[in-house]
Structure 1
Amino acid sequence: MPPQRFAPPTEVPGLAARRIAADILDGVLHKHRTLDDQVDGAGAHPGLKTLPDRDRALMRRLVATILRRLGTLTHVLSRLLDRGMPNDAPRARSALMIGAAQILWMDVPDHAAVDLSVRLVQSDRRAAKYAGLVNAVLRRCAREGEALIAEVATQMLDLPPWLAKRWIAHYGEATAREMAAALGHDPSLDLTVKTDAAQWASRLHGELLPTGSVRTLLQGSVTMLPGFAEGQWWVQDAAAALPARLFGDIAGKTILDLCAAPGGKTAQLAQAGANVVAIDRSPARMARLRDNLARLSLRTETVVADACEWQGGDHGLFDGVLLDAPCTATGTIRRHPDVAWLRQESDIAQLVPLQRRLLDKGVSLLKPGGMLVYCTCSLEPEEGEAAIAALLEADSMLRRVPIEAREIGGLAELVNGDGDLRTLPSHLPHQDPRFAGLDGFYAARLVR
């Protein structure tokens, strides 16, 4: 009689996505690893290779929802746990957060959220003893969670305290609250298109923004959307698309793009007809930039170099310099919620000297009459307004060229009192919150 063969047990659908979400969440909150690196980078979670696209999207949304609402989530669970979070079983903590996030903010049936979180705990040796606790707490969350959220009635709780304090000080409490609320929504997909933006807005079931970007709510793999393979558009937040437009007509001019990768602004400059020299110190990021430009059929010269040390090669001086400086990136939290929990206030002071060195380098490579556009995706004034104020005070040969509302779709609220660009997450309101918001950006335009 032949030996019996037993098929391996089939895993419960959705459990693998939640297990990987727990691993990645731990990577962000306890190992200080970025979400992008764990999902798409060199350190991507090995389990993602076999995860179907639908489960992969669920996993990413789970992690992003938890990171966006971490303060509120912690408050709710603290009220539901008589003895606090289990300290000896990290997977039990993750399972509670994953289950509660689905119950409170995601379109997942409560019973499925509870059941899969219990299974997640049962599959971990150290956490298995907490299966009953997880089951009881999440059932209470389904009954009482909404009322517990109403107790706090503010999303300021979802910001690290140091960041909330800074935004209140710099923008006022009312605006800071609006910014925090805007960060609680899943962001739209923004695209910069080569031509006929209105037609692409229609094809992609989106809207044409006043600034010229196309905004859509389409989900799934970007590479499968119409126009991607043909190189008709690229992904770029509507706020990030504004700085490169501040040069005006640059057809035939030579423009230097410092710190160019991943290349969205480089593509804009090339599409506008400029002769672009793009510099970035990271070979991997520059390879990604070249791939993007090849898909878009756009040509630029690319240089892998430290922008602070680069001497200009054989180019001499440039008609324009775009400097998108490395920064704390606090303006990108709506798209990269891990930034809120990976950054510290001390990072600002460490980055400001680098930004100043890059500014000085950019100015040194400008022709007389040439234009410098400086920008950062930071909401911290030290990395924006204060940096330009210090530069103008130190160099009398530079003058600011104020930005006019007509250059940015008539949105006068995006221009500050000095005539510089300052976008906030709460800008561009919409009756459908999914279509609202911008990344936080600062940009100034200077002429030598």
Structure 2
Amino acid sequence: MKSPPKRSPGPAGQQDQERSENPGFAARKVAADILGNVVHKKRTLDGEFDAASGHSGLRALAGNDRSLVRAILGAALRHRGEISIILDRLLDRGIPEKTGRVLDILHVAIAQMLYLDIPDRAAVSLAVEHAGADRRARPYKGLVNGVLRRLGRERDEVTADIDADIVNTPDWLMESWRAAYGAETAREIARAHQNEAALDLTVKSDPQGWAERLGGHVVGAGSVRLSRKGSVEAVEGFEDGEWWVQDAAAALPVHLLGDIRGLKAADLCAAPGGKTAQLALAGAEVTAVDISKGRLKRLEENMARLGLTVRTIASDLRDFVPDEPFDAILLDAPCGATGTIRRHPDLPWTKQAYDIEKLSEIQGDLLDRTVAWVKPGGVIVYCTCSLEPEEGEAQVEAFVERQAGKVRLEPIDAEEVGGLGHLITEAGYLRCLPCHAAGSGEDMKGMDGFFAARFRRL
């Protein structure tokens, strides 16, 4: 029998394509590529996963492989601090720069070996193959193999004594939370970020009925919390527009506006539209303003599915001038979004302290502008999905001082937020933390970090 002819190595790109046909290889390759884009180039996971403009390799994958990529990245980012320490213990010396995706390949493999239900042999084999397929990483193929096999043998030793609550959070964030909430609460916040957020829904009516139909629980001020994961489009009621996805904490600020039936209300920085839908459902005549035309288009699509009518305006709020003052304004200001890390595990690795400083200046400017946009006697609710006091308590205290004689703070009552008195501060602000409970029972623990304050124009 003749031996098969030797195949020409061909160009590097062709070799990568041939290798990518192996089961599971393409998903791991995409995961490592996206991880590198996030931590080195500061791109967001949402942007990489965008169906129209995201990572091209991801869009080419089958649905189950895309889900695998998401799971790998979630584990790799939530446990990035731990994995970095583990690699330091496994490596005799650091890996030089310009080595392709070596570090990203290792992070992806270790995330699978330690935090996902994937056999070590599969994670190791595909990581070694990936290193061999990457021109710059190829010289380190043996290192990748050796490091991962050693982890398999010495897992208990190299993972011992790692304080996961602390090391998975960048120092600047942990220092901020310790200063604001104390060391123990800062640790609880960090611990909450190690778990994926629950799926919360805002329903048009009958929260208890929908909770029973979908196997969930009523939390917060009438949200429905589900234990299931996966595609929301397949859940009963989605196609009929009976509900929309919205964290229980994010649903609270609209309740602070009170009875708005027949009133003119503005949702500023409105997209993706969860609060816009709440305002419209409450009977207000809603104007939704957002700087992004693309995000407003998705908002309009959401309103169409829900059967709700709102007016939309694409504008930078620093250039926005309303036709007439509003009765009520909800300013969901652009912020560092550090309260949403459970949903966006990339965020700690794409933000820096200076981002908070820059955004806090914008927030103050926008807050000042809202005073002229609301009628005398009208209500302004300011909110951010941030854990940082600069974007919450400190921001509104400075606002009240600047606008003395024009606005007054109206403290929030626990009954306005579903009786969750532990969310109300002594000053009368709403302050939700990821470690807070959205209802009674251990399974009710966890919600987005949120801040809100209410003002009345004099």
Q: Which TM-score band (shorter chain)?
A: over 0.9
**Structure 1 counterpart SS, 2:197:** coil
Aligned pairs for 1:171-250 within 5 A: 171-250=181-260
- Equivalent of residue 281 in structure 2, options 271, 292, 296: 271
- Equivalent of residue 414 in structure 1, options 403, 406, 423: 423
Residue 72 in structure 1 maps to residue 56 in structure 2: no
The letter of the residue matching 2:352 is Q
Residue 285 in structure 1 maps to residue 295 in structure 2: yes
Measured in 2, the distance between the counterparts of 1:40 and 1:369 equals: 42
Q: How far is the alpha carbon of 1:253 from its aligned partner?
A: 1.2
Residue 391 in structure 1 maps to residue 417 in structure 2: no
Residue 366 in structure 1 maps to residue 374 in structure 2: yes
Residue 403 in structure 1 maps to residue 412 in structure 2: yes
CA displacement, residues 299-322 of structure 1 (integer Å, 9 cap, x when unaligned): 011111222222212xx2211000
The letter of the residue matching 1:55 is D
Measured in 2, the distance between the counterparts of 1:10 and 1:418 equals: 58
| Corresponding residue number in structure 1 for 2:112 | 102
| Corresponding residue number in structure 1 for 2:309 | 299
| Corresponding residue number in structure 1 for 2:335 | 327
**Structure 1 counterpart SS, 2:296:** helix
| Corresponding residue number in structure 2 for 1:18 | 28
CA displacement, residues 267-286 of structure 1 (integer Å, 9 cap, x when unaligned): 01001111101111211111
Measured in 2, the distance between the counterparts of 1:89 and 1:241 equals: 46
| Closer/same/farther in 2, CA of residues 289 and 164 from structure 1, 3 Å limit | same
**Structure 2 counterpart SS, 1:151:** coil
**Structure 1 counterpart SS, 2:161:** helix
CA displacement, residues 225-277 of structure 1 (integer Å, 9 cap, x when unaligned): 22111111111111111111111221111111111111110001001111101
- Equivalent of residue 141 in structure 1, options 146, 151, 155: 151
| Corresponding residue number in structure 2 for 1:339 | 347
**Structure 1 counterpart SS, 2:110:** helix
User: Which runs of at least 4 in structure 1 moved beyond 4 Å after TM superposition?
Assistant: 429-435
**Structure 2 counterpart SS, 1:64:** helix
| Closer/same/farther in 2, CA of residues 115 and 432 from structure 1, 3 Å limit | farther
Contact 1:187 1:434 in 2 (8 A): no
Unpaired stretches in structure 2, ≥5 consecutive residues: 8-17
Contact 1:307 1:358 in 2 (8 A): yes
Measured in 2, the distance between the counterparts of 1:132 and 1:204 equals: 50
Deviates more, 1:178-187 or 1:129-138: 129-138
Aligned pairs for 1:422-437 within 5 A: 422-428=431-437, 436-437=445-446
Q: How far is the alpha carbon of 1:142 from its aligned partner?
A: 2.9
Contact 2:217 2:224 in 1 (8 A): yes
Measured in 2, the distance between the counterparts of 1:74 and 1:371 equals: 48
Contact 2:207 2:222 in 1 (8 A): yes
Q: How far is the alpha carbon of 1:147 from its aligned partner?
A: 4.3
Contact 1:327 1:376 in 2 (8 A): yes
Deviates more, 1:195-204 or 1:331-340: 195-204
- Equivalent of residue 141 in structure 2, options 113, 126, 131: 131
**Structure 1 counterpart SS, 2:101:** helix
Unpaired stretches in structure 1, ≥5 consecutive residues: none
Identical positions, percent: 50
The letter of the residue matching 1:85 is I
The letter of the residue matching 2:119 is P
Q: How far is the alpha carbon of 1:31 from its aligned partner?
A: 1.1
CA displacement, residues 3-34 of structure 1 (integer Å, 9 cap, x when unaligned): x9x9x788222211111111111111111111
Q: How far is the alpha carbon of 1:218 from its aligned partner?
A: 2.2
- Taking structure 1 as the reference length, the TM-score comes to 0.93
CA displacement, residues 44-90 of structure 1 (integer Å, 9 cap, x when unaligned): 11122331211111101211221111111100111011122353423
The letter of the residue matching 2:206 is D
Contact 2:199 2:227 in 1 (8 A): yes
| Closer/same/farther in 2, CA of residues 15 and 373 from structure 1, 3 Å limit | same
Q: How far is the alpha carbon of 1:436 from its aligned partner?
A: 3.1
Measured in 2, the distance between the counterparts of 1:255 and 1:335 equals: 29
